[in-house]
A and B are shown apart, each in its own frame.
Chain A
Amino acid sequence: MELRIKKIPPEEAEVLEIRCHKLTDDVAEIISFVKSRQGQLSTECDGQKREIPIVDVFYAESVDNRLFIYTAKESYEVRLRLYELEEMLKGRTFLRVQKGVLLNLMKIRSIRPALGGRYTALLKNEEEVVISRKYVTDLKNALKGGES
């Protein structure tokens, strides 16, 4: 695919146009990336496509090579890899807390011990997500004012 970038004057609206023969997975991924940068994630639920605001996402979990995001009550599949989503959400309030889980720190109500150096994050929708021992230091640093 040829890539063209054209600089425009400030008074013109910025447009990203994709010209393709077919909506392939690669194109869908590019669209998903652009939407995530605009604060939305392209998802699928029961075969229907939906745009979910990133601020509504509680956490994302990779299950059997499929990625799901969870809002307060629903779950949706995202056609991305976890590391891709992590990269997209860099600088936002998301942090890896397990090998396969990205957690929105703004959705944590409280943290409590879970034994073995692990902790449980109690979320605002009453769900619980375990924080692996390996990621506890990262979490502390993020909460103290580091990245995320």
Chain B
Amino acid sequence: MRIKERLGEAFRLYFILVTLITVLLMVLGLLFDSDRTFGYEVFVSPLVYAAVGVIPVFFFKPDKEISMKAMILRRVIQELAVEAAILLIVFNAPSIPSERTEVVIAIAAGVLVVFVLAMIVEYIFELTQANEMNRYLEEYHKRKQE
């Protein structure tokens, strides 16, 4: 896969992740640290976390097209890589109370939820496209058989 295609995939995933991470931060913040106030720089954090989340897109890319099962396996490996990266940030960021086990578990679970939701959003989008192509395919078959 060429770098241009990888960038396209990364951009699409990036914006899905930014949205979902923003929601995740709001939910986790309300659950564990609802009294805290932040400066405007807090708006940067979803952008940074999403950037970490798209890094695996640039790895595990064989030239040959892989099957759906292999793609899901690859996504699982990517998810584990993202979990590791996010937890590394969590344990090194002074603003995150990583000494609280429930906070770490909630962040790890949140990352998993975001990843699964991103895949579902992507699948729904592609399913719409596939349905449209199936309609065109039916018409194409009719035209060519006439």
Residues of A within 8 A of B (CB): 93, 98-99, 105-106, 108, 110-120, 128, 130, 132-134, 136, 139-140, 142-145
Contacts and interface: CB of A to CB of B under 8 A. Distances in A.
Contacts of B136: 140, 143-144
B123 A111 contact: no
B interface SS class: helix
Nearest to B4: A134
Contacts of A115: 68, 71-72, 75, 119, 122-123, 126
Contacts of B68: 114-115, 120
Contacts of B9: 116-117, 133
Contacts, number: 72
Interface of B: 1-2, 5, 8-9, 12, 63, 65-68, 71-72, 75, 119, 122-123, 126-127, 129-130, 132-134, 136-137, 139-141, 143-144
A108 B137 CA distance: 8
Chain A interface, >50% SS class:
mixed
B130 A143 contact: no
Contacts of B66: 130
